[in-house]
Amino acid sequence: MELTERFINYTKYDTQSSEDSDSVPSTAKQLEFAKYLTKELEDENFSDVEMDDMGYIYATLKGNVKIKTPTIGFISHYDTSTDACGKNIKARVVRNYQGGDIELSPGIISSPQKFPELLAHKGEDLIVSDGTTLLGADDKAGVAEIVQAMCYLRDHPEIDHGDIRIAFNPDEEIGMGARHFDVKKFGCDWAYTMDGGDLGDLEYENFNAAAARVHIKGVSVHTGYAKGKMINANRLACEFNAMIPENEVPETTEGYQGFYHLLSMKSRTEEATLNYLIRDHDTQKFKDRKNFILNCAKKLNQKYGTGTCIIDMKDQYYNMKEKINTNMHVIEIVLRAMQQVGIPPKVEAVRGGTDGAQLSFRGLPCPNIFAGSVEMHGNHEFVSVQVMEKAVQTIIKICEIAAKYNE
């Protein structure tokens, strides 16, 4: 099966995860795709193919060398974002894109004026949706690339490689993808997530991340008799958010600058709930940001009474740089692979997180490599066929170089 066909087949499955679910995976529809993918891996005759009851898929491409080599792995998630519609995706290929507007559907236009990243892909074949849904290249492009690379290595025994483990998981988009990942079963010396953006992306720094749920308790009284009695939780919610610095939100930050993000808010007079994301690359600044949120709650409680504002806060993941710094060979191998494939590497700190961040702190060094998705999480998402092919070549070359790592 060709890479493009494989990827488009994957996009036909609605695999959106859900933050409102306590099940694993968070949506049953993810399991439908997981079953399809498991059968595909079995049909491709990979070894040790297994899907557990939570939808985590593991498989092996056995090595073809007699010397002892490291066991390396490649990982992608198959769930898609909830930021845009993820069902009834109609993927198509725009052949030999020459710049200018792409009409996804009547009245829905992807224009370089709004999405200048398009211009970097002139002359390439772009896969797009019809503009009413996301495409799902984040991260089904990564899934397709890994499977395609393993098929190529299987069919080309002249390329030396050790045992290669592959894994695909649900619920990355809700920050839970690595939670139930079986690192011991995976059995790798190190691994790579194929979940980065455009050509050449290589990421081994990411945000430290926390989520804060702000509960505000109000007092509802008839408005005609409210003086001195009512505590309007709607207004207190606005007051709380007004304490957040305007220049420390996603809309005003870049690079290594951290932020607070008001993810959602639900309120009425009697009660309100605000959900925040807290992000920073620097460990101390990350701690300071969490304390700032706690101090905002303290101010409301001092003003309106103890128990008015309660914070539930939990850490989500940490900056993997701490763990990669002591395992820099995993980065050096990627850089060599990209050089040999002819890809200029773009080593950047990701303004987000990956499953690899959590896995790195669980003993599996796991930086992130480009998969090709651009404008991800939105209806104008696209991926270049040629970039996906370069990702496949990069995986193959990493496997070849890693087989000689102990020599």
CATH number for the domain spanning 131: value is 3.40.630.10
pLDDT at 144: 98
Confidence of residue 406 (pLDDT cuts 50, 70, 90): low
Q: For residue 122, give both structure tokens.
A: 């002139």
CA proximity to 99, closest of 78, 117, 77, 119: 119
Confidence of residue 60 (pLDDT cuts 50, 70, 90): very high
CA–CA distance, 12 with 92 (Å, rounded to integer): 11
Query: Are 311 and 342 part of one and the same domain?
Result: no
Mean pLDDT of 252-257: 95
CATH code for the domain in which residue 282 is found: 3.30.70.360
Query: Are 55 and 179 part of one and the same domain?
Result: yes
Mean pLDDT of 286-314: 97
CA–CA distance, 305 with 313 (Å, rounded to integer): 21
Query: Are 281 and 249 part of one and the same domain?
Result: yes
Query: Are 101 and 199 part of one and the same domain?
Result: yes
Q: For residue 284, give both structure tokens.
A: 């101390």
For 181-236, the pLDDT digits (tens) are 999 999 999 999 999 999 999 999 999 999 999 999 999 999 999 999 999 999 99
Judged against a pLDDT cut of 70, whether residue 407 lies above it is answered with no
pLDDT at 316: 87
- Domain count for the chain: 2
Numbers of helices and strands, H then E, in the chain: 10, 17
Judged against a pLDDT cut of 90, whether residue 239 lies above it is answered with yes
CA proximity to 34, closest of 385, 83, 42: 42
CA proximity to 48, closest of 62, 36, 65, 37: 62
For 109-148, the pLDDT digits (tens) are 999 999 999 999 999 999 999 999 999 999 999 999 999 9
Query: Are 248 and 287 part of one and the same domain?
Result: yes
Query: Are 346 and 397 part of one and the same domain?
Result: yes
Query: Are 233 and 294 part of one and the same domain?
Result: yes
Q: Is 335 exposed, middle or buried (0-12, 13-18, 19+ CB in 10 A)?
A: middle
Judged against a pLDDT cut of 80, whether residue 96 lies above it is answered with yes
| The pTM of the whole model exceeds 0.75 | yes
Query: Are 185 and 223 part of one and the same domain?
Result: no
Which residues carry out catalysis? 79, 172
Query: Are 197 and 323 part of one and the same domain?
Result: yes
Above pLDDT 70, what percent of the chain? 100
CA–CA distance, 393 with 387 (Å, rounded to integer): 10
Query: Are 325 and 228 part of one and the same domain?
Result: no
Note whether residue 268 is domain-resident.
yes
pLDDT at 1: 81
Contact in structure between 91 and 137 (CB atoms under 8 Å): no
For the chain, the straight-line distance linking the first and the last C-alpha, in angstroms and rounded, comes to: 35
* Average pLDDT across the chain, whole number: 96
Contact in structure between 138 and 81 (CB atoms under 8 Å): yes
For 70-91, the pLDDT digits (tens) are 999 999 999 999 999 999 999 9
Which residues form the domain of 226?
208-317
Higher-scoring residue by pLDDT: 1, 34: 34
Note whether residue 407 is domain-resident.
no
CA–CA distance, 336 with 145 (Å, rounded to integer): 19
Query: Are 201 and 219 part of one and the same domain?
Result: no
Query: Are 190 and 202 part of one and the same domain?
Result: yes
Above pLDDT 90, what percent of the chain? 94
Contact in structure between 301 and 309 (CB atoms under 8 Å): yes
Note whether residue 113 is domain-resident.
yes
Q: Identify the DSSP state of 172.
A: G
